Structure 1
Amino acid sequence: MAPRLVVVGGGISGLAAAWAARRLARERGDALEVIVLERDAEVGGKARSIERDGWLVEAGPSGFLGGRPAMERLVEEAGLSPDAIPAGVASRRRFIYRAGRMREIVPNPFALVRHGILSVRGMGRLLVEPFVRARRDGGDEGVFDFAARRLGSEVADRMVRPMALGIFAGDARRLSLAAAFPRMAALEREHGSIIRGMMARRGRTSSGTLTSFRHGMQSLPLALAQGGAFTVRRNARVEAIRRATASSMPTQPASASPSWEVVVEGDGIPIRADGVILAGEPWAMAALVRPLDHAAAAELEAIPCPPIAVVALGFAPGATERIPAGFGVLIARDEGFRMLGNLWESHLYPGRSPEGHVLVRAILGGAVDPDIGALSDDAVLQLAREEVTRLYGITDPPVHVRIERVARAIPQYVLGHGERVARIERALACFPHLDATGFGLRGVAFADAASDGVTVGERMAARLLGMPTSIDAAAAIAG
Structure 2
Amino acid sequence: MRTIAVLGGGIGGLAASYYLCKSPQVAKVVVLESSSRFGGWLWTTRRSDGAVFEHGPRGIRPAGAVGRNTLNMVDDLGLGGEILPVTYSHVASKSRYLYVNKQLHRMPSGISGLLRTVPPFSRPLLLSVATEILVKKGKEDDETIHSFISRRLGKELADIVVDSLCRGVFAGDCRKLSVRSCFPLFYNAEQRRGSLTLGMLLGSGPSPVVPPGPLAQRSIKESWAQWSLRRGLESLPESITEYLLQSGKVQIHRDAAVTHISPSASGWKIHLEDGVVSADHIISALPAKALSAALPSSCQPLVQQLQDISSVTVAVVNLEYEGSILPVMGFGHLLPSSEDHGVLGVVYDSVSFPQHNRPDGQSTRLTVMMGGAWFQDVFGDPDAVTEEHLLARATEAVQCHLGVTTAPSWSWVALHRDCIPQYYQGHFRRVESMCNFIKEKNLSLSLIGSSYGGVSVNDVIFSGRTAVEELLGAGV
TM-score range, shorter chain: 0.7 to 0.9
* Maintained 8 Å contact 1:65/1:210: yes
Which residue of the partner structure matches residue 82 of structure 1?
81
Structure 1 residue 363 corresponds to structure 2 residue 365: no
Q: Distance in 1 between matches of 2:416 and 2:296?
A: 24
2:226 to 201, 210, 219: 210
Letter of the 1:64 counterpart: I
TM (normalized to structure 2)?
Answer: 0.87
* Maintained 8 Å contact 1:285/1:300: yes
Structure 1 residue 327 corresponds to structure 2 residue 331: yes
Task: For 1:119-268, list aligned pairs within 5 A.
Answer: 119-120=122-123, 124-135=127-138, 137=139, 139-201=141-203, 209-228=225-244, 229=247, 230-245=250-265, 258-267=266-275
What is the DSSP-based 3-state SS (H/G/I as helix, E as strand, rest coil) of the residue aligned with 1:128? helix
**Structure 1 residue 122, shift from structure 2 partner:** 6.5
Letter of the 1:428 counterpart: I
What is the DSSP-based 3-state SS (H/G/I as helix, E as strand, rest coil) of the residue aligned with 1:145? helix
Q: Distance in 2 between matches of 1:164 and 1:110?
A: 26
Moved more, 126-135 or 105-114: 105-114
What is the DSSP-based 3-state SS (H/G/I as helix, E as strand, rest coil) of the residue aligned with 1:365? strand
Moved more, 104-113 or 432-441: 104-113
Moved more, 113-122 or 377-386: 113-122
Q: Distance in 2 between matches of 1:152 and 1:140?
A: 18
1:382 to 369, 372, 392: 392
Letter of the 1:46 counterpart: W
Letter of the 1:345 counterpart: D
Q: Distance in 2 between matches of 1:379 and 1:193?
A: 46
* Maintained 8 Å contact 1:308/1:405: yes
**Structure 1 residue 354, shift from structure 2 partner:** 2.0
What is the DSSP-based 3-state SS (H/G/I as helix, E as strand, rest coil) of the residue aligned with 2:367? strand
**Structure 1 residue 201, shift from structure 2 partner:** 4.6
* Maintained 8 Å contact 1:141/1:177: yes
Moved more, 179-188 or 67-76: 67-76
Please, which runs of 5 or more residues in structure 1 have no aligned partner? 246-257, 470-479
Letter of the 1:396 counterpart: T
Structure 1 residue 344 corresponds to structure 2 residue 360: no
Alpha-carbon displacement from aligned partner over 1:204-234 (angstroms, at most 9, x marks no partner): 9999631111111111111111112222111
Q: Distance in 2 between matches of 1:191 and 1:208?
A: 28
Task: For 1:398-437, list aligned pairs within 5 A.
Answer: 398-429=408-439, 430-437=441-448
**Structure 1 residue 292, shift from structure 2 partner:** 3.6
**Structure 1 residue 160, shift from structure 2 partner:** 0.7
What is the DSSP-based 3-state SS (H/G/I as helix, E as strand, rest coil) of the residue aligned with 1:311? strand
Which residue of the partner structure matches residue 298 of structure 1?
304
Structure 1 residue 37 corresponds to structure 2 residue 32: yes
Which residue of the partner structure matches residue 61 of structure 2?
65
* Maintained 8 Å contact 2:324/2:364: no
* Maintained 8 Å contact 1:37/1:232: yes
Q: Distance in 2 between matches of 1:381 and 1:454?
A: 38
What is the DSSP-based 3-state SS (H/G/I as helix, E as strand, rest coil) of the residue aligned with 1:451? helix
Alpha-carbon displacement from aligned partner over 1:371-406 (angstroms, at most 9, x marks no partner): 433421111111111121111111111011000001
Please, which runs of 5 or more residues in structure 2 have no aligned partner? 208-219
RMSD over aligned Cα, in angstroms?
2.3
Q: Distance in 2 between matches of 1:39 and 1:132?
A: 49
Q: How many residues align?
A: 441
Q: Distance in 1 between matches of 2:290 and 2:84?
A: 33
Q: Distance in 2 between matches of 1:281 and 1:41?
A: 17
What is the DSSP-based 3-state SS (H/G/I as helix, E as strand, rest coil) of the residue aligned with 2:418? coil
Q: Distance in 2 between matches of 1:82 and 1:277?
A: 31
Instruction: Report runs of 4+ in structure 1 exceeding 6 Å deviation.
Output: 204-208
Which residue of the partner structure matches residue 91 of structure 1?
92
Which residue of the partner structure matches residue 252 of structure 1?
none
Letter of the 1:260 counterpart: W
What is the DSSP-based 3-state SS (H/G/I as helix, E as strand, rest coil) of the residue aligned with 1:404? strand
Alpha-carbon displacement from aligned partner over 1:57-102 (angstroms, at most 9, x marks no partner): 2111112111323222221222212212212512211110112211
**Structure 1 residue 31, shift from structure 2 partner:** 4.7
* Maintained 8 Å contact 1:144/1:172: yes
Letter of the 2:267 counterpart: S
What is the DSSP-based 3-state SS (H/G/I as helix, E as strand, rest coil) of the residue aligned with 1:407? strand
Letter of the 1:305 counterpart: S
Describe the shift of the 1:336–1:442 C-alpha distance in structure 2 as closer, same or farther (beyond 3 A).
closer
**Structure 1 residue 282, shift from structure 2 partner:** 1.4
* Maintained 8 Å contact 1:290/1:296: no
What is the DSSP-based 3-state SS (H/G/I as helix, E as strand, rest coil) of the residue aligned with 2:311? coil
Alpha-carbon displacement from aligned partner over 1:329-350 (angstroms, at most 9, x marks no partner): 0012222462110111111113
* Maintained 8 Å contact 1:9/1:36: yes
Q: Distance in 2 between matches of 1:4 and 1:138?
A: 43
Letter of the 2:407 counterpart: P
Structure 1 residue 313 corresponds to structure 2 residue 319: yes
Q: Distance in 2 between matches of 1:78 and 1:406?
A: 28
Describe the shift of the 1:191–1:31 C-alpha distance in structure 2 as closer, same or farther (beyond 3 A).
closer
What is the DSSP-based 3-state SS (H/G/I as helix, E as strand, rest coil) of the residue aligned with 1:444? coil
What is the DSSP-based 3-state SS (H/G/I as helix, E as strand, rest coil) of the residue aligned with 1:306? strand
1:277 to 275, 278, 283: 283
Which residue of the partner structure matches residue 454 of structure 2?
443
Q: Distance in 2 between matches of 1:391 and 1:442?
A: 34
* Maintained 8 Å contact 2:85/2:224: no
Q: Distance in 2 between matches of 1:4 and 1:336?
A: 50
**Structure 1 residue 439, shift from structure 2 partner:** 0.7
TM (normalized to structure 1)?
Answer: 0.87
What is the DSSP-based 3-state SS (H/G/I as helix, E as strand, rest coil) of the residue aligned with 1:212? strand
* Maintained 8 Å contact 2:144/2:175: yes
Letter of the 2:424 counterpart: V
Letter of the 2:121 counterpart: L
Q: Distance in 1 between matches of 2:179 and 2:13?
A: 26
**Structure 1 residue 184, shift from structure 2 partner:** 1.5
Q: Distance in 2 between matches of 1:309 and 1:144?
A: 24
* Maintained 8 Å contact 2:448/2:467: yes
1:56 to 52, 55, 58: 52
